[in-house]
Amino acid sequence: MTARLRIELVEARAASPSRPVPADVAVAQNRERLERQPLAGLLRGVEPASETQLTWTALLPEFEGLRNPTAIDFERLRAGTVSTTCEATGRFTFATVPEGALEGDSVVWITGLGREASSIALGSAEAGWRWPAPGEAPARDAVRVVVQRAGEPVAGVSLRHTLSFWEAGQTEQEKRLRRVFLREAETGADGSAVLVPGSGDNLLLAAVGDERAISWLGKPEKEIVLELLPTIKVSGRVIVDGPALELDKLRYHVNFLNAVNFLNAEDGSDFLQGGASMGVRSDGSFGPDPWPRGERAQVQVVVSGGEIVPVRATASNPPPRGHVTFELATQRGYPFEVAAATPDGQPVQAALLFAWHWSGSDWLPLTRQVTGEDGRATVHAAAGELMIEVRKPGFTTWSIQGEERVIVPQAAPPLRVIMRPAGVVEGLVHCGIEPVKRFSVLAWSDDKSYHSLSAFEEEEGAFRLEDVPKGETIHLFAYSDALPQSETAAFVLGDETLEVELELPSPRKARGRVIDSVTREPVAAARIQHLLTGMGGLADYRGKGMAVQPDGRFELDGFFPGRGGFACFAAGYEDLFYTTREDDSAVIDVGLLALNPMALLEVQAREAGVSDFSGYQAWNRSNSGATPVALASDGSLWIPSRTGCFQVFVARPDGNVAHVTGSLLPGEQKRVVFDFSSGIELAVVLDEPPADVGSWSACAFTGARDSEHRAKSRWSMERQAFVLRPLCVGDAVLELRDAEGTLVTQRSVRLSDSPQQTLTLPLGGERRRLRLVNERGAPWSSVSVTVTLENASSWSTLLETDARGEFEVGPLDAQRVVLSAKLANESLAYGIVVALEPDPARTTVVALDVGPRSLLSLMEQGRPVAGLGMFYAHDLGVRQLAFGYISDEAGLVRGPFLGPGVYTLRANHRDFWPTRYEVTRGDSPAPVTLELYSRSTLEIEVTTLAGRPIPGARLALAHAELAQTADDWLAADLLRSSTGLFTDAVGRLVLQGLPRGTYSWVCTAETGVSASGMAQLPPRQSLALPIRLGEE
């Protein structure tokens, strides 16, 4: 409820409200009596027991334009302020006029129990301090602030209460008034004080002697607890390489931590922020400034702002009252511009731009910026990937991550942001019948441009989101540190506030053992961390991490099957992410978790006429974060990579990008060559290029035998075309996107072997809607779907179904598509060919369901194979859709729940032959037995009967159990030999990595003399095979 305070001004010899005085007379009277007749008035609607306090503050020039609370001179603010309290009748009188109020504007701040702090802006004294119309003072509970030391209340602590003046949506006048709000109090015998909160964010500081609490910033609820800490002093200097910059625009803040990567620390709460930022001087120096000392092993300083690349440094945390000094070197960043507008193209002013830069290990925040009258704002960052958020009250929060549009240097500024009208979602979160008092809510839209993660602390488990897009499908769930996530709610928000109820399940346990996938030895350094699932995949970490036992075993509390999962990570290994479908067991035994040693990619760029490739950059999208790294001058670069699918990008200096996708085994090293001089160059022209075609991009998808290729290009003004290279012969798919990244058209084409080709791409096309339902007709909502085509182009797009189980594709020219859907945590329906409705206005309905869990028994020569990863895939699915499972101690693989069709399996281990197995959905509870083949080495020596070596002899080799030949393996690049299947100059032929088993062989010399025989190749061993040919 909102109450309005009625305010009248009553002054001696002043004009009565009912008897106005001409303006010229009023001004003259005021000039004569201002200094001896201070402000007085009547505040109506005040409760007698509200203890209403009024402060009258001059808006001094030195407070104008300040952007940070630490920049305020509070001694000067106190000097320009006078205070008074209301009588029971609401009357008040100030004893004097505040310094500076006679010369300029001023403000009266009113705080009283039961209502939110409110302000009355007064004009210049020249106009007689005329009061405006009555303002609104919403009803609101006071806040109890408790100050503790080691958990015990502390009396006599000074509290300073101020308001934020940097939030999006605040007018310049609001910022002026909020900037001078100041309330100071002292804790009583019980260590508490009562404060009246203002709207928006409130800032609280507590100090006594040389102790301080970490500053508190937020929207206060009923109680806030602050902990007193001893202080340390921090100082340092920032050195910026290159041209001189305005360093006094920089800010620094302090963090405390036990490990540089807090996910590898003893728990996820290791990271502790030190409070509000401090300023840097024009010469780059800062401090010494006092900071509350967090109980962590290390202290970290982060410097950002202006045009620099944010930089941080870490040192040992000094003892209480100690001093630590930093020296930080950085450089000027690349500008990255954002333009915010409404759907009808109107610029959005005063929106907050938040940006984070991927440092290679975590996200480093950049300085927050505010859009100007043209809706534009610019941040500065080093080369690499950004995560962007744009916020403003009344609009939905817009965010983007993991796309090429947010790669620095920016290829085509600005990044265009569409700010949509926002609605409100309210709800309750509970576990059983009990409300959950501390929780977080994750919400997102289908296209992920809206992505909101908000933390709440409320006695009744209530929450409110005010930035939710209207008219779009929204997916939302809640979770807490201790409790697993709720089911995902999906809905379309209208103009009315929507209410939802979310239930967190009672937690269970998961146990297992972590091993090295290659050596099968325990990984004692591994850690386990809860994961959330959402947004079409893994969303974020949850709760605290834990270390495994020395033998690799663990038991994880707070787990619930079908709701999220967990991550397992260790230095030198790729992260493993585990999810499971619903299970009734109180303790879920996940068996063996095999961590894969990181693989290594050697990237090599080639291009005719280029001798120095240092201007080219490469990155691997399959790794955590995508930080572009400059190639060496010879065009080479080594990149660590996850196993399984890799996605390597190389960007040329002109901004054009080439992309290769392939696969890696654990610990494998592979060379990836980008030859911009070979392959096909395709020029894509438009009949009528639009005016802003310079900000559009074209992309071509082509496929090769063991990899997939993609090329991306901006419009070439010189060629009047999108020039794409290098591409492969065969099927290709072309995509054209506008400046906002919206798909304009998509076409399937066939490329010949001509090195240079041109085609005209028509604009437009039909968009198609599809609906996924189960066998009962119920929608599959909030599931991720990969759409591909039946051709060999490797094109795909990842989408998510809405509350009705629907999604939209296109514009495209295809009449048939292939769907690969992850229907639940472990339910797969891959490679489903769908004929689209002939009428584009009709929705194509696709019924999908899954059978029982796929069970495998991995055996080799009668013995179970434990700890081996098996990948499920589909021939019609893209390479990235490989779903991995690991065999337990008995060799049993509890795989996914499969949809219709044939799925392929392969072992993810370099010591096993990549035999292609096939499985289908079945009703039998018995596991399917797969016979595995370890790799071995065959060493052949061919001589005459007299013992002389025979060079150039050819070997024909056939595997009896697999019914395959060595010629087949060479052609498929499964087997490599520098001499093929011919003996070298000394009559030797060594074939490494052959599958063990029974072989028949025929060896033929160049003279035509031959011999044949059989050989039994044992697992993981070398077999010497001498061959004697009957010639002298």
Is residue 268 predicted with pLDDT exceeding 50?
Answer: no
d(CA 783, CA 740): 25
Query: Quick one: CA torsion of 458, 463, 467, 472, rounded to 10 degrees?
Result: 160
High-pLDDT (> 70) share of the chain, %: 90
The model's pLDDT over 753-791, given as tens digits with 9 standing for 90+, comes to 898 999 998 887 888 999 999 888 899 888 888 898 887
Alpha-carbon separation of residue 474 from 445, 470, 498, 722, 804 (angstroms) = 5, 9, 11, 36, 11
| pLDDT mean over 679-697 | 87
571 CB neighbour count, 10 Å cutoff: 11
Token pair for 871: 């990948």
Query: Mean per-residue pLDDT for 46-75?
Result: 80
Residue of 534 and 398 predicted with greater confidence: 398
Average pLDDT for residues 874-880, to the nearest whole number? 75
pLDDT tens, position by position, 838-849: 998 999 999 988
Q: Would you place residue 32 in the very low, low, confident or very high pLDDT band (cuts 50, 70, 90)?
A: very low
| Position 991 pLDDT exceeds 70 | yes
pLDDT in tens, 133-161: 555 667 788 999 999 998 899 999 999 99
Here the tokens at position 748 are 């399937």
What is the pLDDT, as a whole number, of residue 663? 79
562 pLDDT more than 50: yes
In this structure, what DSSP letter does residue 458 have? -
Establish whether the linkage from the previous residue to 811 is cis, with ω within 30° of 0. Answer: yes
Backbone angles phi, psi at 905, to 5 degrees: -130, 145
Give the burial string for 847-878 (b: 16+ CB within 10 Å, else e).
ebbbeebbbbbbebeeeebbbbbbbbbbebbb
Domains of the chain: 2-138 (no CATH), 143-227 (2.60.40.1120), 230-331 (2.60.40.1120), 335-418 (2.60.40.1120), 422-503 (2.60.40.10), 508-595 (2.60.40.1120), 766-847 (2.60.40.10), 853-931 (2.60.40.1120), 935-1029 (2.60.40.10)
- Per-residue pLDDT reduced to its tens digit, 993-1023: 999 999 999 999 999 999 999 999 999 999 9
Look at 398 and 242; give whichever has higher pLDDT. Answer: 398
Sequence-distant (6+) residues with CB within 8 A of 407 are: 384, 385, 386, 626, 628, 651
84 pLDDT higher than 60: yes
pLDDT of residue 183: 93
Is residue 471 pLDDT above 80, yes or no? yes
CA 292 to chain centre: 30
| Average pLDDT score over the chain | 84
Residue 284 has pLDDT above 70, yes or no: yes
Contacts (Cβ under 8 Å, ≥6 apart) of 150 = none
Is residue 539's pLDDT more than 80?
no
Q: Looking at residues 649-674, what average pLDDT do you find?
A: 81
* 193 has pLDDT over 90: yes
Question: For residue 169, how far is the Cα from the chain centroid?
Answer: 26
Contact 1009, 1031 (CB under 8 A): yes
Contact status, residue 612 vs residue 858, Cβ threshold 8 Å: no
Task: Quote the CA–CA distance of 255 and 296 in Å, as a whole number.
Answer: 9
pLDDT surpasses 70 at 319: yes
Q: How many CB atoms lie within 10 A of CB 189?
A: 8
Q: Report how far apart the first and last C-alpha atoms of the chain are (Å, whole number).
A: 109
The pLDDT of residue 260 is: 45
Instruction: Report pLDDT for 326.
Output: 95
Phi-psi region of 306 (alpha: psi -120 to 50; beta: other; left: phi over 0): left
pTM (2 d.p.): 0.61
Give the per-residue pLDDT at 536: 57
Using alpha carbons only, give the angle 711, 714, 716 rounded to the nearest 5 degrees.
115
Question: 961 vs 341, 916, 958, 996, 1023, CA distance in Å?
Answer: 65, 13, 9, 10, 18
pLDDT band at 312 (very low <50, low <70, confident <90, very high): confident
The two three-digit tokens of residue 164, written as one number: 């934020």
For residue 590, pLDDT beyond 90: no
Sheet holding 527-534, edge to edge: 537-547, 527-534, 565-569, 576-579
Report the pLDDT value the prediction gives residue 262, as an integer from 0 to 100. 35
Q: Are 893 and 887 in contact (CB under 8 A)?
A: yes
Measured at the alpha carbon of residue 775, what is the angle toward residues 772 and 779, in degrees to the nearest 5? 35
State the pLDDT at residue 219: 86
Distance CA 79, CA 469 (A): 46
Cα 522 to chain centroid distance, Å, stands at: 31
Rounded-to-integer distance, Cα 117 and Cα 44, Å: 15
User: Which residue spans within 104-222 are E strands per DSSP?
Assistant: 106-111, 118-122, 136-138, 143-149, 152-153, 158-163, 183-186, 192-195, 202-208, 211-213, 216-218
Residue 168: predicted pLDDT: 58
pLDDT at residue number 270: 61
Predicted pLDDT at 924: 65
- Residue 185: predicted pLDDT: 93
Confidence of residue 498 (pLDDT cuts 50, 70, 90): very high
Average pLDDT for 518-529:
90
pLDDT in tens, 377-429: 999 988 888 889 998 888 888 888 777 788 888 877 899 898 989 999 999 99
Pick the closest to residue 515 from 949, 889, 47 (CA basis). Answer: 889
From the list 330, 348, 328, the residue with the least C-alpha distance to 339 is 348
Query: So what's the pLDDT on residue 207?
Result: 92
Q: Which of 157-161, 484-488, 644-648, 711-715 has the highest mean pLDDT?
A: 157-161
Residue pointed to by tokens 């296209």: 447
Residue 36: the pLDDT is 47
DSSP string, 912-970: B----EEEE-----SPEEEE--BEEEEEEEEEETTS-B-TT-EEEEEETTTTEEHHHHH
Q: Count of alpha carbons within 13 Å of 274, Cβ hemisphere only?
A: 27
Question: Model confidence at 49, in pLDDT bands (50, 70, 90)?
Answer: low
Per the structure block, which two tokens stand in for 385? Answer: 């990937």
Q: Looking at residue 125, what is its pLDDT? A: 60
Mean pLDDT of 325-352: 91
Q: Does the pLDDT value for residue 10 go beyond 70?
A: no
Over the stretch 591-641, which tens digit does the pLDDT of each residue have?
888 888 888 889 999 888 899 998 888 888 766 555 678 899 999 998 888
For 510-525, what is the mean pLDDT? 89
